[in-house]
Amino acid sequence: MKELVILTGYSGAGKSTAAGLLEDLGFFCIDNLPPEVIYQVASLVLPSVEKLAIVIDVRGYMFGNVTKAIKDIKERFPFTKVIFLTATKETLVQRFAHTRRSHPLSKQATSIMEAIDLEAEMMKDILEMADIVIDTSQMNPHQLREKLTKVLEPTEGKDFTVHIISFGFKYGIPLDADFVFDVRFFPNPFYIPELRPKDGRDEEVKEFLRNIEGITEYLNRIKSVILFAINRYHSEGRKELIIAIGCTGGKHRSVYFAEELSSQLEKENFKTTVEHRDVALG
């Protein structure tokens, strides 16, 4: 689904930082467009990208009617979200003092305080029509990233892909795994003659493992860890995770756990892939 974000707000509130974070989240970012060309640029770019962010600051007001431009683009692209970054006056003053940069309206004002007040007056209409207002006064870049991720992707993590690999420890641990879970402490179907030639996808093996005490509990614990990790990784802008589940030979227990974990995560609307690396060797 297409996404269009108009990123605006007060000078010093963090638009440059937010634009960089949006790029990390997959947005194609365009900075400081004159209001008159916002619609044309969006119409030109959106067919080629899934996510577009247009950054507008107070300088745009010098080249046209920003309020009308945003209303027009929201009418044409109803999925548009206007994100307005704000901060307290004291915070903005401190940030300008720290960076020693001039306020964009410094030539129209006699002091930084007056420039901030002038900007607030000029942007009050945009603030009122914003879909999302974020106060960055107490935020660091990490917290801003987390906030942007949550407001732009409220189905937190649902576009996350979990790659699940079953393997046998005797053939080595997958080196690219983010998490490795050991299931060797459960009874091994390999030692049951009628189950030995089968693998963890066969119903007879699945039935055998389902009836072992602790299997379901351990599976649920793995799932809880993975869901927690997805939430944290997702807030960092990451989109995938590799999980390795190992037993001795990689044929029965690890295969069963990989399949069951995949099924449970898909019920939570996560995308999964499953690879049984050593099933033919176990």
Asked whether residue 109 falls in the same domain as residue 171, the answer is no
Residue 52, CA distances (Å) to 4, 25, 79, 126 in order:
5, 11, 11, 19
| Backbone dihedral angles phi then psi of residue 8, each to the nearest 5 degrees | -145, -175
Asked whether residue 183 falls in the same domain as residue 215, the answer is yes
- Identify the pLDDT of residue 156: 44
- Identify the pLDDT of residue 57: 85
Asked whether residue 50 falls in the same domain as residue 141, the answer is yes
Domain C-terminal end among 152, 187, 213: 152
Q: Is the pLDDT of residue 159 over 80?
A: no
| 16 known ligand binder | yes
Which CATH number goes with the domain that contains 120?
3.40.50.300
DSSP state of 273: E
Q: Which two tokens stand for residue 276?
A: 């049984």
Residue 186, CA distances (Å) to 147, 165, 213 in order:
42, 18, 9
| 262 known ligand binder | no
Neighbouring CB atoms inside 10 A of 267's CB total 8
| 277 known ligand binder | no
- Closest among 62, 136, 59 to 92, alpha carbons compared: 136
- Identify the pLDDT of residue 239: 81
Q: Is the pLDDT of residue 27 over 90?
A: yes
- Identify the pLDDT of residue 44: 93
Asked whether residue 119 falls in the same domain as residue 217, the answer is no
| 282 known ligand binder | no
- Residue with structure tokens 């690999």? 165
| 125 known ligand binder | no
Highest mean pLDDT among 67-71, 149-153, 183-187: 183-187
Contact 247, 188 (CB under 8 A): yes
Domain C-terminal end among 120, 152, 184: 152
Neighbouring CB atoms inside 10 A of 67's CB total 16
Work out the percent of the chain whose per-residue pLDDT is above 90.
Answer: 59
Q: What is the mean pLDDT of residues 26-45?
A: 90
Q: Which of 34-48, 167-181, 230-244 has the lowest mean pLDDT?
A: 230-244
Report yes or no on 281 lying in a domain: no
Report yes or no on 47 lying in a domain: yes
| 19 known ligand binder | no
Domain C-terminal end among 152, 170, 204: 152
Highest mean pLDDT among 35-39, 150-154, 200-204: 200-204
The H or E element containing residue 156 is none
| 97 known ligand binder | no
| Domain containing residue 169 | 161-276
Neighbouring CB atoms inside 10 A of 240's CB total 14
Report yes or no on 220 lying in a domain: yes
Q: What is the mean pLDDT of residues 68-92?
A: 91
Residue 71, CA distances (Å) to 35, 77, 155, 184, 247 in order:
11, 10, 26, 61, 59
Asked whether residue 177 falls in the same domain as residue 269, the answer is yes
| 12 known ligand binder | yes
Q: What is the mean pLDDT of residues 213-224?
A: 95
Q: What is the mean pLDDT of residues 143-158?
A: 71
Radius of gyration of the chain (CA): 26
Asked whether residue 178 falls in the same domain as residue 143, the answer is no
Average pLDDT, rounded, for the chain: 90
More confident residue, 160 or 256: 256
CA distance 106 to 235: 36
The alpha carbon dihedral of 194, 198, 204, 205 has a sign of positive
Contact 241, 233 (CB under 8 A): yes
Asked whether residue 36 falls in the same domain as residue 141, the answer is yes
- Identify the pLDDT of residue 196: 95
Report yes or no on 132 lying in a domain: yes
Q: What is the mean pLDDT of residues 206-224?
A: 95
For 231-252, give the secondary structure using H, E and C: HHHHHCCCCEEEEEEEECCCCC
CA angle 190, 192, 197 (to 5 degrees): 55
Number of domains, the chain: 2
| 202 known ligand binder | no
Q: Which of 107-111, 213-217, 261-265 has the lowest mean pLDDT?
A: 107-111
CA distance 154 to 177: 27
Asked whether residue 167 falls in the same domain as residue 136, the answer is no
- Identify the pLDDT of residue 209: 96
Report yes or no on 39 lying in a domain: yes
| 11 known ligand binder | yes
Asked whether residue 221 falls in the same domain as residue 257, the answer is yes
Asked whether residue 147 falls in the same domain as residue 15, the answer is yes
- Identify the pLDDT of residue 107: 85
| 9 known ligand binder | yes
CA distance 95 to 153: 29
Q: Which two tokens stand for residue 39?
A: 């619609």
Q: Is the pLDDT of residue 236 over 80?
A: no
List CB contacts of 194: < 8 A, sequence separation 6 or more. Answer: 204
| 14 known ligand binder | yes
Q: How confident is the model at residue 43 (pLDDT cuts 50, 70, 90)?
A: very high
Q: Is the pLDDT of residue 238 over 70?
A: yes
Q: Over the stretch 88-142, which tens digit does the pLDDT of each residue have?
A: 999 999 988 888 888 888 888 889 999 999 999 988 988 888 989 999 998 888 8
- Identify the pLDDT of residue 166: 97
Asked whether residue 7 falls in the same domain as residue 117, the answer is yes
Report yes or no on 248 lying in a domain: yes
Asked whether residue 230 falls in the same domain as residue 131, the answer is no
Report yes or no on 81 lying in a domain: yes
- Identify the pLDDT of residue 158: 57
